[in-house]
């Protein structure tokens, strides 16, 4: 059986969560956090290794809350995303406070990844279907080819990924008749009210989205060779920063989008109808806890996960 890894991006500073470490907030009946459920689903689907991407200052708390437990049931490795982990010749612009986004996060784990890998966010609940479908694709269909990247992603339905407590950012997808991604557009402040759906582009201008569109939740199945793409692209991204821009991010969906447009990648969109939930905002936590309770009562998960 082909080896596969689960890569969990957990280095976010939780700014919209009131400054707390949102990835470590308990939501299950025995103190489980959202990552516990993702790891459970990934191991059940057949993934062989867990790679956590965290900040160094978070390492002790992270291991206490989850890492030490998971090490008892699966191989675990750690990568560290830091704001000053830059290619030679580059330095952190004055005033920048945050690391460089999801592309840099995965790049930080590059030396640990020698097999196809699935990337997820730490603070998102994805459901079982996406893990199953991506693992099956990576094991049975994915081709390793350095000239053309064969990738896949979980295609969530936009209406299944909204928060009741504020706008969300999603990679809005265009999909061709063959089920492959043709473009992914980072779209901001998406919410639904009595007037319908609302969203903005990167410049803050209103854009149209529909409830039934596929969106990316940063749940990508990638070949090991894609790390080379991230290594090559990061210096280019840094060179093209505008003076005074201290918030730009090297985003995984944008990198994948460029590879598609240049004809160097294909991404199979594996639709999942599972409902996303997460702790984007502090006010989300009660709803997440209630959702987990419903899944346990329905027999989807045991009362005690591990």
pLDDT digits (tens, 9 = 90+) for 133-149: 999 999 999 988 778 99
**Exposed / middle / buried, residue 178 (Cβ in 10 Å: 0-12, 13-18, 19+):** exposed
Position 15 scores a pLDDT of: 45
Residue 99 belongs to domain spanning: 5-297
pLDDT, tens digit (0-9, with 9 covering 90-100), for 180-206: 999 888 899 999 999 999 999 989 999
- The pLDDT assigned to 22 comes to 64
The residue whose two tokens read 């750690």 is 78
Q: For residue 284, name the pLDDT band (cuts at 50, 70, 90).
A: confident
Do you know the residue count of the chain?
306
Of residues 145 and 214, more confidently modeled: 214
Phi, psi of 246 (to 5 degrees): -110, 10
In a domain, 148, yes or no: yes
pTM score, whole prediction: 0.91
Torsion of CA 154, 160, 166, 167, to 10 degrees: 50
Q: Is the pLDDT of residue 12 over 80?
A: no
- Asked if 51 contacts 120 with a C-beta cutoff of 8 angstroms, the reply is no
**Mean pLDDT, residues 71-88 taken together:** 96
* Confidence band, pLDDT 50/70/90 cuts, at residue 20: low
Residue 303 resides in a domain: no
* CATH code, domain with 69: 3.90.550.10
> Over 60: is that where the pLDDT of 245 sits?
yes
71, part of any domain: yes
Whether the pLDDT of residue 81 is over 60: the answer is yes
- With cut-offs at 50, 70 and 90, classify the pLDDT of residue 243: confident
Q: Does the pLDDT of residue 126 top 90, yes or no?
A: yes
Kindly write down the DSSP assignment for every residue of the chain, as one continuous string: ----EEEEE-----GGGTTS-GGG---STTS--HHHHHHHHHHHHT--EEEEEE-GGGHHHHIIIIIHHHTTTS-EEEEE--TT---TT--PPTT--S---HHHHHHHTGGG--S-EEEEETTEE--HHHHHHHHHHHHHT----TTSEEEEEEEEEGGGG--TTS-EEEEEEEE-TTSBEEEEEEEEEEEEETTEEEEE-TTS-B----TT-EEE-S-EEE-TTHHHHHHHHHHHHHHTPPTT--S----HHHHHHHHHHTTSEEEEEEEE-PPPEE-SSGGGHHHHHHHHHHHHHTTSS-SS--
Segment among 220-224, 240-244, 301-305 with least mean pLDDT:
240-244
Percent of the chain residues past pLDDT 70, beyond the cut: 96
Helical packing angle, 252-261 and 226-239, nearest 10°: 100
pLDDT of residue 21: 66
User: Does any domain span residue 208?
Assistant: yes
Look at residue 45 and tell me whether its pLDDT is greater than 90.
yes
Work out the angle at residue 106's Cα, subtended by the Cα atoms of residues 101 and 107, and round it to the nearest 5 degrees. Answer: 95
Q: Is residue 89 part of a domain?
A: yes
Asked whether residue 96 is domain-assigned, the answer is yes
* pLDDT confidence bin for 248, thresholds 50/70/90: very high
Could you give the number of structural domains in the chain?
1
Tell me if 271 is assigned to some domain: yes
Q: Looking at the predicted structure, is the pLDDT value of residue 25 above 90?
A: no
Within a domain: residue 231?
Answer: yes
Q: What is the mean pLDDT of the chain?
A: 91
Residue 282, pLDDT score: 76
Angle between helices 34-45 and 128-140 (to 10 degrees): 40
- Above 50 in pLDDT, residue 17? no
The pLDDT tens digits for 252-273 are 988 998 999 999 999 999 999 9
């Amino acid at each position: 059986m082909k080896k596969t890894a689960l890569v969990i991006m957990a280095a976010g500073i939780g700014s919209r969560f009131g400054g707390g470490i949102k990835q470590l907030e308990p939501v299950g009946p025995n103190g489980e956090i959202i990552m516990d459920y993702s790891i459970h689903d990934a191991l059940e689907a057949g993934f062989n290794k867990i790679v956590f991407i965290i900040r160094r200052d978070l390492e002790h708390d992270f291991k206490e809350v989850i890492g030490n437990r998971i090490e008892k049931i699966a191989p675990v490795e750690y990568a560290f995303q830091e704001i000053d982990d830059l290619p030679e010749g580059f330095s952190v612009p004055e005033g920048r406070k945050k690391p460089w986004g999801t592309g840099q996060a995965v790049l930080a784990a590059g030396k640990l990844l020698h097999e196809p890998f699935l990337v997820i966010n730490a603070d998102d609940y994805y459901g079982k279907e996406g893990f199953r479908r991506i693992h099956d694709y990576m094991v049975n269909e994915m081709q390793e080819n350095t000239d053309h990247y064969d990738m896949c992603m979980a295609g969530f339905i936009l209406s299944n990924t909204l928060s009741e407590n504020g706008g969300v950012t999603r990679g809005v997808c265009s999909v061709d008749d063959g089920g492959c991604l043709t473009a992914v557009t980072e779209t901001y402040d998406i919410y639904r009210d009595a007037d319908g759906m609302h969203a903005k582009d990167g410049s803050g201008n209103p854009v149209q989205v529909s409830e039934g569109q596929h969106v990316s939740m940063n749940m990508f199945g990638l070949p090991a060779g894609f790390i080379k793409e991230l290594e090559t692209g990061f210096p280019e991204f840094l060179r093209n920063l505008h003076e005074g821009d201290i918030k730009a991010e090297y985003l995984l969906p944008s990198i994948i989008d460029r590879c598609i447009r240049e004809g160097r990648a294909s991404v199979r969109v594996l639709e999942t109808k599972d409902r996303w939930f997460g702790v984007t905002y502090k006010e989300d936590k009660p709803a997440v806890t209630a959702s987990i309770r419903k899944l346990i009562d329905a027999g989807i998960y045991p009362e005690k996960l591990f």
